[in-house]
Structures are given as C-alpha cells and as structure tokens.
Amino acid sequence: MPDEFPAELKFCYWGNPILRKMAIAVENPESEETNDFIQRMREKLKEHDGLGLAANQVGCDRRVCLVAFPKEDDYSEIKALINPEIIESSDEKAIYEEGCLSFPALWLKIERPYKVKVRAFIHGEGEAEFEAEGTLAEVLSHEIDHLNGVVFIDHLPQIRRVLLSKELKRIAMEHNDL
C-alpha cells in the first residue's frame, strides 16, 4: 500500500479522533512525497513553536514525527524521524513540566523515563539507533506516544484526568470544528 499524505495539513486538537489512532508505518521514507510532507510539517512546527510534532497532529496517520535535538546549548536542530520506536527505557524516571501543541495552554507534570533508546529512519541520515536523556528523552517519548495513539494526559492518574475534564472539554470545543 503506497504512502498517502494529506494535501493540506490541518492542525488537530484534543477531541479529534486521529490523536487516538495508531499511526501506520511509512513504506518509502526516501520518496518525494515523504520529503514534501516533512517539509510541510516543518512549517507547521515553526508556526506553533514547539519542540516536537507528530504526523497525526496535522491530520496524517503515518509514523513521522519532528523532534528538536540539542545543538550548541539550544534545541534547534529539527530532525524528522520516520517509523520511530522506543526500544529501551531506563527504570530511572524524571518528572517534566510538559505541554502539547494539541492541548493549548495546558501544562502538566508528567513522569517519563530519564533515558530512552530509539530506532528510526532519520530523514537525510538513514537508519539509526541512538540514546537520549533528559528533555530530549521526554520529547521523543511524547512524540512517539502520539504515533501510538497515546497523549500526555494518559500518563496522569485517573482522578487527575477527571479534575481536568472541564479544561479538556473547553479545548475540544474551542479548537475543533468536528
């Protein structure tokens, strides 16, 4: 089945069912269509000024995400990861103040592994396995979660999600035209 990418990228917010969908592997990571999609994703990430963006956040069901990697003490090198997966996670955890572009103005303390090992096709570099820790591990975990249909509120205890229900409903109502 050939890769299909949407003609127009429309930003998706909480309440949009695509955020809960497991993304499909990209068949040809080096195709012109994949390259074009990644360039359009880069524009969306720049518009929203985030550290990461998953394809389902712009209405696409393929396993592609953009992640800002550290470069000279700044998270400024945006890499496109195709078909990424976390293959190892540390037992050591850290709590991060985390936001999500699909949940505007919502910041939550989320516990994630301090270190992860990732396997992915990195656009422009090829197949790779690499380790990340701290903020980069957090961002990678967050974006790969998106591709698995998992959002950051899923990492909260049930009671905390219940307490957020009004805010989540507000986000869905204000930002979606479903």
Q: What is the CATH number of the domain that holds 122?
A: 3.90.45.10
Q: 148: domain range?
A: 17-175
93-110 pLDDT tens trace? 999 999 999 999 999 999
143 a catalytic residue? yes
Contacts of 82 (CB under 8 A, 6+ apart): 26, 29, 34, 63, 64, 120, 121, 122, 123
Q: How confident is the model at residue 75 (pLDDT cuts 50, 70, 90)?
A: low
Domains contained in the chain, number: 1
pTM for the full model? 0.94
Write down the catalytic residue from 131, 133, 143, 167.
143
Q: How confident is the model at residue 71 (pLDDT cuts 50, 70, 90)?
A: confident
What per-residue string of b and e applies to 145-161 under the rule 16 or more CB within 10 Å gives b? Answer: bbbbebbbbebbeeeee
